[in-house]
């Protein structure tokens, strides 16, 4: 309607200007033309009548042509507007000043159920009787509004169904600018509103489910903690109770084997040697279980001191050399004479002996090599053998508890299957890492790294050595909790951040050794966190491990990330990756 009135005014202006131009030209040039024909003033005066008739004729022709053209254009515009209203997918309704319907398009018929014949000339049927007074007040405000207004209301269909509508109304003016009614576009948002309400209800219900699930998980976690504590207490108690008779059995068999209680025949000696070996094996198993239980319970007391590395290597060499000679294996030991570090000497020797014992156990030909050197702030110990090697699929499992690898050979592994599990946990307690590389038929290499100059921390912090710290950044509280529990059980110091902003603050407050970073986070996402950390000089060297539900190939990760983990996270894979990443943050482990 507004567009039509604008076109009308423009057209009327053009016709008026054209008429004025024709009139001015006729008045100006008609007398001049007659005088040039040689007519006298008296003759020109007598021709004035014909001049007027000519003027009327010319202007009539101009006016007729202009009006005819304008009428055609107006008819075309009216037809297009009528077509637009008819094919519009949403209801369009126009009312006069008495709120009687003067326009009711086909969409209004479909939505509200009344045909145009039923409502034209009658008051608006969709307004409920009880809301009529409010409707009249709104209409009066609308008639005085300078622009279109939008609002939401509830209206009624012919069948009585209530519909929620979003309405955009504007006043309609005639050619003189006087208000003659209103026109409105009505959008049915009943289904949309119901969907929003349903989503809100589902979200509220989901929050309740999450809270309930969180409470159950916390309860289960508490029960697991109590069970673990009870298990640790039981293991410690039973270990003590079993050690006492075992020590007696081993001691008496040694007395018998030495002939202190009288001579024995060959068969009796053989049987006593079997009893003694079995007793020692059982004692080793009990000791390993007790060590592992103490580490998991945080009861391992470390006694750090200044340690000369060459003395440690000489000590373990003295213990392992008889085993090497018994199998005819070569031995190589490399170490700088003056290299030292600050750590628990007994625990370091325990780790190296476990690694060397395994190397000898799984090597039939070739040799075993032990090397140690200091690279920057880290001391690196490497135990390499030329044994059967470990399949790459099983390499992540070697640090598990009670793991006995299938060598696919005649070799039957001896021992408890706890040595490597204990060694890795001790490495973590000492603030270091333990990683492995292996190739079937070639051999294996185990690399232990420890900080050189870290002094002991209080006993509450697992007594004595700085533990590696991990920042877990994930908006999923359950995922954070699971990862945190695994890492803390493995000896790491863990901090958590539920979003990008918290993660950046945490890094600024206390620098972590490594960050487990989810990419999809509220606010600052994982990509932006990685970019900021890597572009800042003080945080550029912090290793980032990406954590996502998508495969690595679906993300197209950049070199900013040192590793990748796919949810749900495999604990053994995560711990192995962290050891590898942390070992590489200062040196590169060798695979030979």
Question: For 68-85, how does the pLDDT look when each residue is reduced to its tens digit (9 = 90+)?
Answer: 777 777 777 777 877 888
Question: Is the domain 304-451 a CATH 3.30.565.10 member?
Answer: yes
Q: What is the pTM of this model?
A: 0.43
What is the Cα–Cα distance from 536 to 543, expressed in whole angstroms?
13
The answer to whether the Cα torsion of 580, 583, 584, 590 is positive or negative is negative
Tokens of 333: 């030991």
Classified by CATH at the fold level, domain 92-188 comes out as Beta-Lactamase (3.30.450)
Ranges 258-267, 317-326, 414-423: which has the least confidence: 414-423
Better pLDDT: 219 or 514? 514
Listed by start position, the domains of the chain span: 2-87, 92-188, 199-296, 304-451, 468-584
- Average pLDDT value over all residues in the chain: 78
Q: What's residue 41's pLDDT?
A: 66
- Residue 132's CB is within 10 A of a number of other CB atoms, namely 13
Asked whether the beta carbons of 349 and 322 are under 8 A apart, the reply is no
What is the Cα–Cα distance from 448 to 463, expressed in whole angstroms?
20
474-496 pLDDT, tens digit per residue, is 888 877 877 887 788 778 888 99
Mean pLDDT calculated for residue range 235-261 = 71
Confidence of residue 388 (pLDDT cuts 50, 70, 90): confident
Closest CA to 131 of 149, 154, 111: 154
Q: What's residue 512's pLDDT?
A: 92
Give ∠ CA 449-452-456 in degrees, rounded to 5: 105
Closest CA to 371 of 390, 355, 389, 360: 355
Q: What's residue 342's pLDDT?
A: 86
> Max CA-CA distance within the chain?
176
CATH homologous superfamily of 468-584:
Response regulator (3.40.50.2300)
Q: Which residues contact 156 (CB under 8 A, 6 or more apart)?
A: 126, 127, 128, 162, 163
Classified by CATH at the fold level, domain 199-296 comes out as Helix Hairpins (1.10.287)
pLDDT exceeds 60 at position 370: yes
């Amino acid at each position: 309607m507004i567009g039509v009135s604008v076109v009308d005014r423009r057209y009327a202006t053009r016709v008026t200007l054209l008429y004025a131009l024709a009139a001015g030209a006729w008045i100006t040039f008609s007398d001049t033309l007659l005088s040039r024909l040689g007519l006298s003033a008296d003759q020109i005066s007598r021709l004035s009548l014909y001049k007027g008739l000519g003027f009327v004729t010319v202007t009539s022709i101009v006016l007729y042509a202009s009006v005819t053209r304008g009428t055609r254009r107006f008819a075309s515009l009216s037809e297009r507007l009528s077509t637009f209203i008819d094919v519009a997918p949403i209801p369009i309704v126009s009312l006069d000043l008495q709120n009687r319907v003067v326009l009711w398009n086909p969409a209004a018929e479909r939505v509200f159920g009344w045909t145009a014949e039923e409502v034209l000339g009658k008051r608006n049927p969709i307004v409920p009787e009880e809301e009529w007074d409010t409707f009249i007040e709104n209409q009066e405000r609308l008639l005085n509004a300078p622009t279109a207004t939008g609002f939401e209301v509830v209206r009624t269909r012919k069948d009585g169904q209530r519909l929620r509508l979003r309405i955009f109304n504007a006043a309609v003016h005639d050619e003189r600018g006087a208000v003659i009614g209103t026109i409105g576009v009505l959008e049915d948002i009943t289904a949309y509103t119901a969907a929003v309400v349903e989503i809100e209800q589902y979200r509220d219900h989901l929050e309740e489910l999450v809270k309930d699930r969180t409470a159950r998980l916390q309860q289960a976690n508490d029960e697991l903690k109590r069970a673990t504590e009870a298990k640790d207490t039981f293991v410690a108690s039973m270990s003590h109770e079993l050690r006492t008779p075992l020590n007696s059995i081993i001691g008496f068999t040694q007395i018998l084997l030495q002939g202190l209680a009288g001579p024995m025949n060959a068969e009796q000696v053989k049987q006593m040697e079997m009893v003694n070996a079995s007793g020692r094996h059982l004692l080793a198993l009990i000791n390993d279980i007790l060590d592992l239980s103490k580490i998991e319970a945080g009861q391992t007391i470390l006694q750090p001191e200044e340690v000369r590395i060459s003395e440690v290597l000489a000590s373990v060499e003295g213990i392992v050399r008889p085993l090497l000679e018994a199998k005819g294996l070569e031995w190589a030991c490399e170490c700088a004479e003056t290299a030292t570090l600050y750590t628990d000497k007994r625990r370091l020797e325990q780790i190296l002996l476990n690694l060397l014992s395994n190397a000898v156990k799984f090597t039939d030909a070739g040799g075993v090599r032990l090397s140690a050197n200091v690279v920057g702030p880290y001391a690196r110990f490497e135990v390499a053998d030329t044994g059967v090697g470990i399949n790459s699929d099983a390499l992540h499992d070697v640090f598990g508890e009670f793991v006995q690898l299938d060598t696919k050979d005649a070799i039957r592994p001896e021992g408890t299957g706890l040595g490597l599990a204990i060694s890795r946990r001790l490495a973590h307690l000492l603030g270091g890492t333990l990683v492995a590389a292996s190739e079937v038929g070639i051999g294996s290499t185990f690399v232990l790294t420890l900080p050189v100059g870290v002094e002991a921390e209080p006993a509450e912090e697992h007594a004595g050595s700085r533990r590696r710290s991990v920042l877990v950044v994930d908006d999923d509280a359950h995922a954070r909790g699971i990862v945190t529990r695994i890492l803390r059980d493995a000896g790491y110091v863990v901090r958590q951040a539920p979003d990008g902003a918290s993660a950046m603050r945490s890094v600024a407050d206390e620098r972590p050794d490594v960050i487990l970073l989810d990419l999809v986070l509220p606010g600052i996402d994982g990509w932006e966190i990685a970019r900021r950390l890597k572009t800042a000089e003080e945080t550029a060297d912090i290793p980032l491990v990406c954590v996502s539900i998508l495969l690595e190939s679906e993300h197209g990760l950049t070199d900013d990330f040192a590793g990748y983990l796919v949810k749900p996270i495999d604990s053994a894979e995560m711990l192995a990756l962290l050891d590898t990443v942390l070992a590489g943050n200062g040196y590169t482990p060798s695979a030979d």
